[in-house]
Amino acid sequence: MSRHWRSWLLWGVLSAALAGVFAAGLTVDSAQGSSWRAEVRSLFLPGATSHGHYQIELKCNACHGAAFGGREALQEACVKCHGAELKAADDKHPKSKFTDPRNADRAALLDATQCVTCHVEHRPGITRFAGVTLSDDYCAICHRDIGKDRPTHQGLAFTTCASSGCHNFHDNRALYEDFLLKHAAEPALLEQPALPERNFAKVLEDLGSYPHDRYPVKPLGRDAIDAGSNLKAPAPVVDDWLATAHAKAGVNCSACHREKEPAGEHAWVERPSHKVCTTCHEPEVKGFLAGKHGMRLVQDLEPMRPALARLPMKHDAGDKPLTCIACHGAHRFDTRAAAVEGCLACHDDTHSRAFKASLHYALWQKESKGELPAGSGVSCTTCHMPRVSHRTPDDVTRILVQHNQNDTLRPNEKMIRSACLHCHGLQFSLDALAEPKLAAANFKGQPAKRIESIDMAKRAEARAEGSRRKAKDRGQGG
């Protein structure tokens, strides 16, 4: 009898302990790093997440905000992070297209009011390019008769719709017919290839959000530094700072090292976070937080480290926490170093390793030596973090660096407008981006195949011209 009782007690204790372990994993606030609670929490994952979300997969409520919120709560979470980007991309399939009653029959087949209809998470077995979990013929659900409206599309297989250089479900800003025609005659290399210049210094005076009162724009010297006893002399950081745009523009030590506390006092902070950078560089930080480098910070997780990445990274960089200074280097803030060495210090895939043998890098080196004018070299960031036009809330147009490296990838045609077309013609860009081998070799070489999009647009235009002529001959066309 007593043995029987002891077995039950043991069973009870073990069950309680097991339940406790699972509860600890489930309720941990920020599952991260190698804590055992994170390990336990990972047991709850219903399947590995996609490349887009694996960094935050243990922060369940990043997507599953409300425990029983259903599809709506999930959709809200998608829009919270991806909504602005879709809006900026002139999304060709917005929700309103599918809530329109006239499309009820189509929405019944493809309910694209919900992101998860096409992008299901935790399903690695069926997750394909760009996190799509539908079968390849999804365009045909609504557009199977496209050949009737567009003779150029007759007989095309459904696998060609979303192939490189043709159509994307969301972003077609570089692929619409009139855009193809407008850029049809461009040579592979433009006569005057050049990148737009950043204009922060030029528009500083117009920025209402800039702390003009505390840090008026004027060059500062060694004697002006306001770090006081917080700076342990002699410090090489002073020399680094003196060489920067910060020192030239009046950005003193305290601008970054003193953060406002809730009480209103500014306390000295030895290692400022990205939050302090937003004081002057808000759109840049916003981009950084929206991309793979900063997305964990938005979820209050520890910064991303290369060791956690799914792409090949250099071993010695594994533990580097990705904050602003990981690439920009505190005090020096050398943007040229950030644009190449910032990336190559960690990234170790074929494309990255091929960069220094590329023509793009040769141009970059010539520009660095002063042999070519500013804006003629090509760094990693020229394509992956391009200079884009940004309108501030006070209606100032800034040319700044898009720090969200996802903004120009998956599909890579997203970089045509913001990167390729500054130097190359559209046909060449379409052809080059469509060849994975060429991309892997960092575009050393020439594209072998011609993408037909522009030719098709020209054929459609010629057909329209014929129809216009006929109408004119008939005396129509008031």
Which chain residues interact with another protein by CB under 8 A? Answer: 90, 94-96, 99-105, 107-108, 149, 176-179, 460-461, 464, 467-468, 471, 474, 476-478
CB 387 within 8 A of CB 198: yes
Name the residue nearer to another protein (CB basis): 448 or 471: 471
Question: Long-range contacts for 76-81 (Cβ within 8 Å, ≥24 apart)?
Answer: 78/115, 78/116, 79/115, 81/290, 81/295, 81/298
CB 53 within 8 A of CB 292: no
Name the residue nearer to another protein (CB basis): 314 or 458: 458
Closest distance between another protein and the C-beta of residue 184, in Å?
14
Closest distance between another protein and the C-beta of residue 165, in Å?
19
Closest distance between another protein and the C-beta of residue 96, in Å?
4
Closest distance between another protein and the C-beta of residue 143, in Å?
9
CB 451 within 8 A of CB 434: yes
Name the residue nearer to another protein (CB basis): 177 or 341: 177
Name the residue nearer to another protein (CB basis): 206 or 465: 465
Type of residue found at 216 = P
Closest distance between another protein and the C-beta of residue 149, in Å?
5
Question: Long-range contacts for 81-86 (Cβ within 8 Å, ≥24 apart)?
Answer: 81/290, 81/295, 81/298, 82/115, 85/290, 85/404, 85/407, 86/170
Name the residue nearer to another protein (CB basis): 174 or 280: 174
Name the residue nearer to another protein (CB basis): 136 or 465: 465
CB 124 within 8 A of CB 131: no
CB 380 within 8 A of CB 339: yes
Name the residue nearer to another protein (CB basis): 13 or 462: 462
* CA angle centred on 403, ends 368 and 340, rounded to 5°: 30
Region label for 445, one of left (φ > 0), alpha (ψ between -120 and 50) or beta (otherwise): left
Name the residue nearer to another protein (CB basis): 180 or 345: 180
CB 413 within 8 A of CB 433: yes
Closest distance between another protein and the C-beta of residue 393, in Å?
19
Closest distance between another protein and the C-beta of residue 371, in Å?
34
Region label for 367, one of left (φ > 0), alpha (ψ between -120 and 50) or beta (otherwise): alpha
Closest distance between another protein and the C-beta of residue 335, in Å?
29
Taking Cα atoms as reference points, which of 444, 442, 445 lies closest to residue 351?
A: 442
